[in-house]
Structure 1
Amino acid sequence: MTDDRERTTGTGRLITGLAWAVLLLGLWLWGRGVTADVPRSPDGPTTGDVFAIGRPADPARLPRPAQPLNEARPQRIDIPRLGVQAPVVARGLDARGAVDPPPFDQPGVVGWYGSGTPPGAAGAALMVGHVDTETRPAVFYKLSTLEPGQTVRVVRSDGRIAVFTIDDVRVLPRDGFDAGRAYGPHVPGRAELRLITCGGTFDRATRTYSANVVVSAYLTGTGR
C-alpha cells in the first residue's frame, strides 16, 4: 500500500509538472504570436528596448514581503504609475496552452489565469493584457515603462486589497527565453504577481512581436 501511494503521488507530481511546463511554453508562444495593426515606425521599438534585458532592483531598497493571504478572486487591478484601473476576468488556456487573453474588443480588461494562483496567495499569479489592438493602444501598452519600487494594487473578492511592489521589469527576447524564470515563483512561499504582455519590435511581415514584457512584483501589504 505504501508503494502504491508513493507511485500515485509521484505520478500526480509529474502530471502537475508537465501541465505547468505546457502553460509556460504557451505563454511564451502567446508573446510571440499576438498580432496587431497599429501604425508604427518601421524601425522603432514598440513597448520597450529589447536590449534592456532587465531592471532588477536593489533588494535593500525594497520593503519586506508580507505574509501571503488566503485565496480570493481578483476583481480589479490598479497601476497608479500608468493610470490604469482595469477590471480583471478569469481566463483559461487557449489551444496552444497559453493563458487566453480577453477579446480584442475588450482592450481595457486584464485576464487572470483562473486555474492558477490568486493574487495575494502564495505562488505566482499570472495576469495578461493586450499591448494594443488593430486601432489603438490597450491596457498594458506602457507596461515596460514601470520600474522597481513602484506599486500594483489588486482588489479582491474578499474585500481586501493586495498591494504588490515591483522588483523586476524585463523585456525578454525569444532567443534564449527561460519561461520558468520569467513566469514561475522567484522565492518559495512568497506571494508574487506577474504582469505579461507583448513587447520588443513588431514585424509587419509575420505580424508578431519579438519579445515579452514581464513585470514581476511581490506582496508587501494589504488594505481594505
Structure 2
Amino acid sequence: MSYADHDHERSSGTARLTMGVAWALLLLGLWLWGREVTDVRHGISAPTTGDVAAVGRPPDPELPPAHEPLSGALPQRVDIPALGVQAPVVARGLDRRGAIDPPPFDQAGVVGWYGSGTRPGAAGAALLVGHVDTESRPAVFYKVSTLRPGATIRVTRSDGKVAEFTVDDIRVLPRERFDAQQAYGTRQSGRAELRLITCGGTFDRATRTYTANVIVSAYLTGMAA
C-alpha cells in the first residue's frame, strides 16, 4: 500500500494511517518491477522484534500437506475465523512510484489484492494488504499479528470456490532490516501461497511511520465446504 503521495496533505491522525506500510510496499513495488520472484529457503519462523505476535506462542503444530494449485480466479472475500474477519477484497494496482495503491482511506475494512500478481489459489504468492488501524479505531488487519501457525484463512473466489489456506509463518520484519525477497518470495516451488501484509511494531512519531511490517504466510491446503 502506498501512502507516500498523501503524507503532506492530511492531518497527523490520517498520516498515522497512511504512512504505516509505505516503506515496505514501496520496496515491494520496486522488487516486483525489477526482479523475478524466486523460491526462498525457510529462515525466520518467528517474529524478529518484540511484537505481541511473539509473546507466549507455543511450538508450531503439525501442518497439513499442500493442496495442488487451482486455476486462476479473482478473489472476492477473505475470512479469518480466528480473528472474526470477514472482508471484501478489491484489486489494486501500482501507483506512479511503483508501490501498491491501497484501498481508499474511508474503506479501512476492505482488503486490497495486488491484481497484477498471483491470484489466490494459483501457484505462486498472492499478496493481500490491509490497514491495521485508523485515526479512531482498529482496521481490518488489526489482529493479524496474533495469528498462529495452523490458523485458517479462506478466500472466496469468482469461480464459486472457497480456497482454504493454512498459516505456516508469521514474521515481523523491522524497517532497517527489511528484505522484500524474504517477505514476498514463494517459500516452496509449485505451491499456492498467500501473504497478509500490514504494519507492525510501534508508531514512530518522528518519522510518522511504523517501525516494522507484519507478514503472515499461508499455503493452500484444501477447499472449504
In 1, Cα distance between the equivalents of 2:169 and 2:134? 26
Deviation at 1:23, TM superposition (A): 7.1
CA RMSD of aligned residues (A): 2.5
More moved, 107-116 vs 176-185: 176-185
In 2, Cα distance between the equivalents of 1:117 and 1:196? 15
Find the counterpart in structure 2 of residue 62 from structure 1: 63
In 2, Cα distance between the equivalents of 1:109 and 1:196? 13
Deviation at 1:69, TM superposition (A): 0.2
Letter in 2 for 1:138: A
In 2, Cα distance between the equivalents of 1:28 and 1:211? 18
Unaligned runs of 5+ in 1: 1-21, 30-47
Letter in 2 for 1:206: T
Find the counterpart in structure 2 of residue 144 from structure 1: 145
Letter in 1 for 2:63: L
For the Cα contact (< 8 Å) 1:87–1:109, is it kept in 2?
yes
Find the counterpart in structure 2 of residue 19 from structure 1: none
Percent identity at matched positions?
A: 71
- Asked whether 1:217 is paired with 2:206, we answer no
- The change in CA–CA distance for 1:56 and 1:115 in structure 2 (over 3 A counts) is farther
For the Cα contact (< 8 Å) 1:124–1:191, is it kept in 2?
yes
Alignment map for 1:1-224 (pairs within 5 Å):
25-26=27-28, 50-51=49-50, 58=60, 61-223=62-224
Larger radius of gyration, structure 1 or 2? 1
- The change in CA–CA distance for 1:24 and 1:185 in structure 2 (over 3 A counts) is farther
For the Cα contact (< 8 Å) 2:30–2:98, is it kept in 1?
no
Q: Could you give the per-residue CA deviations for residues 165-220 of structure 1, whole angstroms, max 9, x where no partner exists? A: 00001111012221101111000110000000011010122210000000000000
TM-score normalised by L of structure 2: 0.75
Letter in 2 for 1:153: R
For the Cα contact (< 8 Å) 1:117–1:126, is it kept in 2?
yes
- The change in CA–CA distance for 1:215 and 1:28 in structure 2 (over 3 A counts) is farther
- Where 2:140 maps in the other structure, the secondary structure is coil
Letter in 1 for 2:50: F
- Where 1:175 maps in the other structure, the secondary structure is helix
Count of paired positions: 184
TM-score normalised by L of structure 1: 0.76
Letter in 1 for 2:27: L
In 1, Cα distance between the equivalents of 2:58 and 2:195? 14
In 1, Cα distance between the equivalents of 2:48 and 2:140? 19
Deviation at 1:49, TM superposition (A): 8.1
Unaligned runs of 5+ in 2: 1-23, 32-46
